Amino acid sequence: MGHAASGPKEILTYPDDEQFGKASPGKLGMWIFLGTDAMSFSGLLIAYGIIRAIAFDWPEDVVNALGGVELSGFMTFLLICSSVSMVLSIDACKLRNRKKMLMWLGLTVAGGASFLALQVYEYGHLMNDMGMTFSNYEHGNNLFSSTFYAITGFHGLHVLAGTVYLACMWVKAYNGEFDKGDYNLLEIAGLFWHFVDLVWILVFTFVYLL
């Protein structure tokens, strides 16, 4: 039994993307930097795995040793949301919507600042309530505390750098430097921020969950 012929389908068209197929020197430089930075994080996580495999008195329940994963899970959620807002800010720039670009970029900066504030709170809780300093852990091997602070602290420095970086981009956006839709600088900053978010997901998985 035949079907009735449907009408012509509407074809969606988008304006030409001037950046398509063009990698700016800044973007290439950021990719090279992220490649080397990924090796640094890989080295830290591999060292953590090796030390955990051979160390004595490693906490059997890392989740309890860290006071649970509720806080770190919320921190992970914050960074994921900030990655989404970063994408939306770039899209708003492409559409030359200055108001939304500033709003989404500002929310991204706020997400990074909130993550840092929560990390400081977590460190205070671990040091004061759990007896866990960089060089001493009252309930197990000291290597556990030192590797934890080394990995999460190194990532925290990246979040701090990324938050300051994005705050500078917000000032540029406020001054109208992206009003013509040139989103190259925003996209370069976005690459760094997405990398920071991705690394945290790996840190959260390997250190807090596994």
Going by C-beta distance under 8 Å and a sequence separation of 6 or more, which residues neighbour residue 115? 75, 78, 79, 82, 159
In a domain, 146, yes or no: yes
Question: Is residue 4 in a domain?
Answer: no
Whether residue 170 is contained in a domain is answered as yes
If one counts every other C-beta atom within 10 angstroms of the C-beta of residue 163, the result is 22
Cβ(97)–Cβ(178) below 8 Å: no
User: 3: pLDDT confidence band, cut at 50, 70 and 90?
Assistant: low
User: pLDDT confidence of 53, banded at 50, 70, 90?
Assistant: confident
Instruction: Please report whether residue 63 resides in a domain.
Output: no
Based on its alpha-carbon atoms, the radius of gyration of the chain, rounded to whole angstroms, reads 22
Residue 9 lies in a domain: no
Tell me if residue 132 falls in helix, strand or coil.
Answer: strand
d(CA 180, CA 26): 19
The predicted model gives 13-34 an average pLDDT of: 74
Q: Does residue 18 have a pLDDT over 70?
A: no
> Are the CB atoms for 86 and 67 separated by under 8 Å?
no
Determine, yes or no, domain membership for 59.
no
- Among 1-5, 93-97, 143-147, 180-184, the range scoring the smallest mean pLDDT is 1-5
The residue ranking higher by pLDDT, 167 or 5, is 167
Q: What does pTM read for this prediction?
A: 0.84
Would the pLDDT of 13 be above 70?
A: no
Assigned domain for 5 exists: no
Q: Is the pLDDT of residue 24 over 60?
A: yes
pLDDT at 91: 93
CATH number of the domain to which 161 belongs: 1.20.120.80
pLDDT, tens digit, 9 for 90 and up, residues 60-73: 666 676 767 888 89
Q: Is the pLDDT of residue 5 over 80?
A: no
Residue carrying structure tokens 């991204």: 108
Pick the closest to residue 169 from 88, 91, 109, 84 (CA basis).
109
- How many helices (H) and strands (E) the chain has is answered by 6, 0
26-30 mean pLDDT: 88
Asked whether the predicted pLDDT for residue 26 surpasses 70, the reply is: yes
Nearest one of 175, 149, 161 to 115, comparing CA atoms: 161
State CA 52 to chain mean position distance.
Answer: 25
- Percent of the chain predicted with pLDDT > 70: 84
In a domain, 11, yes or no: no
pLDDT at residue 137, rounded to an integer: 74
When divided into structural domains, the chain yields a total of 1
For residues 85-97, give the mean pLDDT.
93
pLDDT tens figures, 123-168: 988 888 877 888 777 766 778 888 899 999 999 999 999 999 999 9
For 73-123, give the DSSP string. Answer: HHHHHHHHHHHHHHHHHHHHHHTT-HHHHHHHHHHHHHHHHHHHHHHHHHH
Which one, of 157, 68, 169, lies nearest residue 115 by Cα? Answer: 157
pLDDT digits (tens, 9 = 90+) for 101-121: 999 999 999 999 999 999 999
d(CA 37, CA 41): 7
- By residue range, what is the domain housing residue 75? 25-52+68-209
